[in-house]
């Protein structure tokens, strides 16, 4: 099946080309109907306006994206997609269709229409890069993880954010520029803070300057496809060069005043790693809006969900209800108040995003708001009466 799905003229070397980009028997099975039509398989390594670069058995080609850019932004061709392209001879050559995605990382756009934006597809590892050159933003790490842990697969990817931790895609937090924190005790405290913020997630300290930790990360990403995510100045491109063993990605200095960097990487690029595996480097993200990430929020704040199971009321909002186990944990010092505030914030944001595309949920939110307002007025009136 593997040979047939590449096409009759495939050679072992050609098969090896696609294997280096993640081709396997599963993709071969998905592609079989298109092989019968004479089309060629390939993986999208870069997308520009109207065109994309595709790794095929014959090497990287340029393909037109007219047939894989529908109105639905969740279905637009993206770096990491496997596609069926025209055979040699056509000018231009077209990417005709996208094979069903296994996973995708999706964020909401800043658009008032509240659309989802697919940043990378068919990913096995998500590497969240956080610079130690600036003060840790634990809330931003929680936000990235909430998206990374939101589960979905198959056709559900057309509607939900992905990188399903449960289905095998693993989130990983990498603290870059560790050489800027030479004191091991201080570094240990920083790692501990992140581990508390990311329960169950592996946390690595990396220095691309000294090489510290890069061998461990290289071993992790050697199997499958990994995407580097983070803000500008987080050291993604430097880390990509370290993993690639050569200066493929351009690197610029960060600003001394705030540690932020310019957008050195302006497109999402997929690169085969020399030690195996595939890496997707992405531009720095200024904003990371949630997109249907309620399940991910629950996983990131698993300790809060566990405490909530002991609350007196099943629908406890953990605000001021009697018998709230979550608030009791905060009072006892077992749960940091910052974690609870972050949990509430992300849930509220996610609810707003979902409500924009769900009329029934919008109606339920308005109803709850009216009930709470009426209850608040009644309580206020009762207090005035007692006075």
Chain segment 287-333, per-residue pLDDT in tens: 666 666 677 888 889 999 999 999 999 888 888 889 999 999 999 99
pLDDT class for 110, splitting at 50, 70, 90?
A: low
Q: Mind listing the pLDDT tens digit for each residue in 38-66? A: 999 999 999 998 999 999 999 999 999 99
Nearest to 244 by CA among 221, 224, 223, 210: 221
Higher pLDDT, 34 or 109: 34
CA dihedral of 297, 301, 302, 307, whole degrees rounded to 10: -120
Give 174's Cβ-side CA count (13 Å radius).
Answer: 32
Strands 170-176 and 125-131: parallel
Say if CB 147 and CB 106 are below 8 A apart.
yes
**Does residue 199 surpass a pLDDT of 90?**
no
Instruction: List, in sequence order, every residue forming a beta bridge with 226; answer none if it has no partner.
Output: 125, 279
What's the pLDDT score for residue 370? Answer: 55
Beta partners for residue 176, in sequence order: 131
What distance in Å separates the CA atoms of residue 305 and residue 223, rounded to the nearest whole number?
32
More confident residue, 386 or 328: 328
- Separation of first and last alpha carbons in the chain: 82
| pLDDT at residue 129, as a whole number | 93
Question: d(Cα 58, Cα 245) in Å, to the nearest integer?
Answer: 24
For the cut 50, the answer to whether the pLDDT of residue 89 exceeds it is yes
What pLDDT score was predicted for residue 374?
Answer: 58
Q: How far apart are CA 115 and CA 309, in angstroms?
A: 33
pLDDT given at position 298: 83
pLDDT of residue 151: 42
- pLDDT for 105: 85
Query: CA nearest 39: which of 69, 68, 73?
Result: 68
Asked whether the predicted pLDDT for residue 259 surpasses 60, the reply is no
Share of the chain above pLDDT 90, in %: 45
Burial of 381 (C-beta count, 10 Å sphere; 0-12/13-18/19+):
exposed
The half-sphere exposure of 135 on its side-chain side, counting CA atoms within 13 A, is 3
Q: Supply the pLDDT for residue 73.
A: 83
Q: Check pLDDT > 80 for residue 149.
A: no
Mean pLDDT of 238-253: 74
β 82-85/40-48 pair status: antiparallel
The dihedral sign for the CA sequence 324, 328, 330, 335: negative
Nearest residue to 82 (alpha-carbon basis) of 129, 124, 22: 22
Going by C-alpha positions, the residue among 216, 278, 268, 220 that lies closest to residue 244 is 278
pLDDT at 167: 37
The whole-chain average pLDDT of the chain stands at: 80
Query: Is residue 179 scored above 70 in pLDDT?
Result: yes
**d(Cα 268, Cα 236) in Å, to the nearest integer?**
12
How far apart CA 256 and CA 241 sit, in angstroms, is 22
Residue 95's pLDDT is what? 96
Distance CA 73, CA 69 (A): 8
pTM: 0.78
β-strand pairing of 59-64 with 170-176: unpaired
pLDDT at 366: 52
What's the confidence (pLDDT) of residue 146? 85
Q: What is the Cα–Cα distance from 96 to 85, expressed in whole angstroms?
A: 6
- Helices then strands, counting H and E runs in the chain, come out as 12, 13
The pLDDT of residue 237 is 86
Please tell me the predicted confidence (pLDDT) of residue 90. Answer: 77
Its sign, for the CA torsion 273, 53, 167, 25, is negative
Helix (H, G, I), strand (E, B) or coil at 289: strand
């Amino acid at each position: 099946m593997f040979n047939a799905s590449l096409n009759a003229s495939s050679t072992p070397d050609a098969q090896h080309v696609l294997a280096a980009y993640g081709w396997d028997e599963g993709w071969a099975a998905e592609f079989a109907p298109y092989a019968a039509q004479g089309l060629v398989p390939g993986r999208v390594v870069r997308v520009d306006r109207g065109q994309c670069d595709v790794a095929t058995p014959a090497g990287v080609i340029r393909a037109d994206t007219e047939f894989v850019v529908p109105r639905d932004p969740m279905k637009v061709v993206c770096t990491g997609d496997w596609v069926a392209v025209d055979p040699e001879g056509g000018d231009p050559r077209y990417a005709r269709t996208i094979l069903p995605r296994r996973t995708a990382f999706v964020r909401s756009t800043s658009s008032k229409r509240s659309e989802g934006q697919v940043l990378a597809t068919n990913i096995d590892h998500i590497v969240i890069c956080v610079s130690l050159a600036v003060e840790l933003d634990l809330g931003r790490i929680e936000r990235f993880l909430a998206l990374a842990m939101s589960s979905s697969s198959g056709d559900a990817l057309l509607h939900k954010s992905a990188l399903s931790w449960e289905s095998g895609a693993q989130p990983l937090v990498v603290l870059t520029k560790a050489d800027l924190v030479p004191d091991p005790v201080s570094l240990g405290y920083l790692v501990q803070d992140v581990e508390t913020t990311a329960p169950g997630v592996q946390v690595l300290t990396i220095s691309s300057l000294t090489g510290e930790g890069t061998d461990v990360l290289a071993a992790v990403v050697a199997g499958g496809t990994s995407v580097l995510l983070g803000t500008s100045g987080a050291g993604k491109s430097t880390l990509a060069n370290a993993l690639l063993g050569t200066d493929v990605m351009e690197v610029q200095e960060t600003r001394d005043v705030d540690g932020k960097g310019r957008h050195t990487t302006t497109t999402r690029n997929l690169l085969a790693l020399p030690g195996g595996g595939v890496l997707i480097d992405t531009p720095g993200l200024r904003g990371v809006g949630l997109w249907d990430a309620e399940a991910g929020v629950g996983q990131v704040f698993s300790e809060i969900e566990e405490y909530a199971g002991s609350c007196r009321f099943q629908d406890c909002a953990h605000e001021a209800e009697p018998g709230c186990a979550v608030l009791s944990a905060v009072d006892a010092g077992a749960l940091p108040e910052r974690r609870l505030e972050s949990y509430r914030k992300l849930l509220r944001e996610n609810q707003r995003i979902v409500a924009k595309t769900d009329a029934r949920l919008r109606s339920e939110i308005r109803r709850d708001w009216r009930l709470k307002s009426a209850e608040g007025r009644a309580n206020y009136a009762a207090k005035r009466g007692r006075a």
